[in-house]
């Protein structure tokens, strides 16, 4: 570990932190090799030696390991992202998030409109709802009876 006294130039100037791992494509320097490796994946299309993460079942290649792993899970029918309400599994986080926002989950909390008692499965659906007998006013969105 580098001591503060070794990297301090003077009391008035900020100390320069040594960065010994340098990207061979853009010259950006990093303190840790793991961070450089993660950064280097951004330049995968520029590296003739990098073949990507290749699926051994279908041959599809991925720059990011995370995308490769999600793809592999699809082949193996593994759905690691679970809905906390109903337990349904999804291949990726974004699909689960869409499910949670959709309001279709049978165990999900039911929200009711205070004006007409219509039920909704999500806050978004309730917010989009306009009651029969009420309308949005032009003065900032308050509701008024007809």
Asked if residue 62 is part of any domain, the answer here is: no
Residue 103 lies in a domain: no
Average pLDDT, the chain: 75
9: domain CATH number is 3.30.160
Name the residue among 22, 17, 19, 15 with its Cα closest to residue 31.
19
Domain range for 139: 109-146
Q: Is residue 67 part of a domain?
A: no
- Give the mean model confidence (pLDDT) for residues 44-68: 79
56 is a domain residue = no
Contacts of 103 (CB under 8 A, 6+ apart): 120, 121, 122, 124, 125
pLDDT at 86: 80
State both tokens at 32: 């840790």
The 10 Å Cβ neighbour count of residue 53 is: 19
Q: Does 22 fall in a domain?
A: yes
Specify the number of domains making up the chain: 2
**122 in a structural domain:** yes
pLDDT digits (tens, 9 = 90+) for 91-132: 888 899 888 888 777 666 677 888 888 887 667 778 888 887
């Amino acid at each position: 570990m580098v001591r503060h006294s070794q990297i301090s130039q003077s009391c008035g100037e900020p100390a320069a932190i040594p960065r010994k791992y340098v990207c061979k494509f853009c010259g950006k320097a990093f303190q840790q090799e793991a961070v450089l490796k993660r950064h280097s994946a951004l330049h995968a299309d520029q590296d003739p030696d990098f073949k990507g993460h290749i699926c051994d079942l279908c041959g599809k290649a991925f720059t990011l390991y995370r995308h490769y792993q999600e793809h592999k899970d699809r082949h193996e029918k593994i759905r690691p992202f679970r809905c906390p309400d109903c337990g349904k599994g999804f291949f990726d986080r974004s699909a689960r998030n869409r499910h949670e926002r959709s309001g279709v989950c049978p165990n999900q909390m039911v929200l009711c409109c205070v004006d007409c008692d219509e039920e909704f499965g999500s806050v978004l659906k309730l917010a989009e709802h306009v009651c029969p007998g009420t309308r949005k006013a032009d003065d900032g969105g308050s509701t008024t009876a007809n």
